[in-house]
Amino acid sequence: MSAPKQMPSAEDATESWRLLLHQAAVEVMTTMVGVAPTVPEQIESEPSEQVTGMVGLAGALCGLLSIHCSPKVATEIASRMLGLGEEEAAQHWVDAVGEICNMVAGAFKAKIPGLDDQCMLSVPTVITGDSYATQSLIVGNRTAVHLLFQGEPFVVILETNG
Amino acid sequence: MPQIRALIVDDSSVMRKIVERCLRQAGLDLSDVQQASNGVEALAILNQSDFDLILSDINMPLMDGLEFVKTIRTLEKAKDIPVVMITTEGGEQHVLEALSLGAKGYIRKPFTPEQVKEHVIPVLRS
């Protein structure tokens, strides 16, 4: 196994990683869901905490990648991924959001030279509910990509240590 | 191509359904498709049924895909079944490790139905 490559500093990484994170999210959503998310003209607020998918990263890059959306968006994603009606898709949206999160994390790390083999992903976790907040203990860089999926917020956040 | 019995191993039920749909879209005549959510479950199914093709994720709880491939290569009943990995872990070292353990193909998520076809059909023909 080769030595891990030097990760860029948090400040250097922010803008380039935001772009790569955006590309990864668009790539995954376009390929697996069949809809390319768009960029909102204005970011109104942080995502509402109703559905949160999370995947941990460990190794040369340690942190957490999370996806935030509404149950409506999650159901639409599951519906399109599986080719099912809304009612049937509602049984699968937790799984669908977890898998989309997993694939965005995988696509993101594949875009950074040397990182693919040096950074492992955890099995995804999905939190759902009406009133909760996630608080990461990661101290470091936070990169957020605000997107719209069929007009509804779809936010990808990468928090990394160091 | 003859009828194919396939085992799909992934901890995501959504991905298992998508992989099955991709196999059908690839034109495979699937006579039996069974699903497992990790390597342990898959080994139990392999004890009960015969398969012509296995598609397996890597990152799974209980037993991951690499350990699963390594284990089935030691089983007389299953050692010759071609395995194609379908995973988010697409680094060169992961690919080489999977191939060295006996995987016959490697598909990176996200994937299109065409990519599944491109990787699976040659494996079944070889």
For A133-148, write each residue's pLDDT tens digit. 777 777 788 899 999 9
List of chain A residues whose C-beta atoms are within 8 Å of the C-beta of residue B21: 83
* For chain A, domain boundaries: 13-35+50-161
List of chain B residues whose C-beta atoms are within 8 Å of the C-beta of residue A117: 91-94
- State residue A45's pLDDT score: 66
Q: What's at B84, amino acid-wise?
A: V
Task: Of A47, A123, A4, give the one whose Cα is nearest residue B88.
Answer: A123
pLDDT average, residue stretch B13-39: 96
Q: What's at A123, amino acid-wise?
A: V
Q: Is the CB of B88 less than 8 angstroms away from the CB of A122?
A: no
ipTM score: 0.90
Shortest CA distance from A77: residue in chain B: B14
pTM for the model? 0.91
Q: Report the range of poorest mean pLDDT among A38-52, A60-74, B65-79, B104-118.
A: A38-52
Strand residues in chain B grouped as ranges (E): 4-9, 30-36, 53-56, 83-87, 105-108
- State residue A15's pLDDT score: 84
> Model confidence over B31-60: pLDDT tens digits?
999 999 999 999 999 999 999 999 999 999
Residue A113 — φ and ψ, nearest 5°?
A: -55, 130
Shortest CA distance from B10: residue in chain A: A99
- State residue A3's pLDDT score: 45
Q: Is the CB of A83 less than 8 angstroms away from the CB of B21?
A: yes
- State residue A43's pLDDT score: 78
- State residue A47's pLDDT score: 61
Chain B touched by A123 (CB under 8 Å):
yes
Buried-exposed string B7-17: b where 16+ CB fall within 10 A, e elsewhere: bbbbbbbbbbb
**A151 secondary structure, DSSP code:** T
Which segments of chain A have a pLDDT < 50? 1-4
Q: What's at A36, amino acid-wise?
A: A
Percent of chain B having pLDDT more than 70? Answer: 100
- State residue A9's pLDDT score: 57
Establish, for the pair of chains A and B, how many residue pairs have beta carbons separated by less than 8 Å: 65
**CB within 8 Å of chain B, chain A residues 85-104:** 92, 95-96, 98-99, 102-103
Written out in words, the top-level CATH class of the domain with range A13-35+50-161 is alpha beta
Chain A touched by B91 (CB under 8 Å):
yes
**B62 secondary structure, DSSP code:** S
**Which strand (E) or helix (H) includes residue A88?**
helix A86-89
Q: Is the CB of A123 less than 8 angstroms away from the CB of B93?
A: no
**Which strand (E) or helix (H) includes residue A73?**
helix A71-82
Is residue B51 within 8 A of residue B31, CB to CB? The reply is no
A135-144 contacts, C-beta under 8 A, 24 or more apart: A136/A64, A138/A62, A138/A63, A138/A64, A140/A10, A140/A63, A141/A10, A141/A11, A141/A13, A141/A14, A141/A17, A143/A13, A143/A14, A143/A17, A143/A18, A143/A21, A144/A18
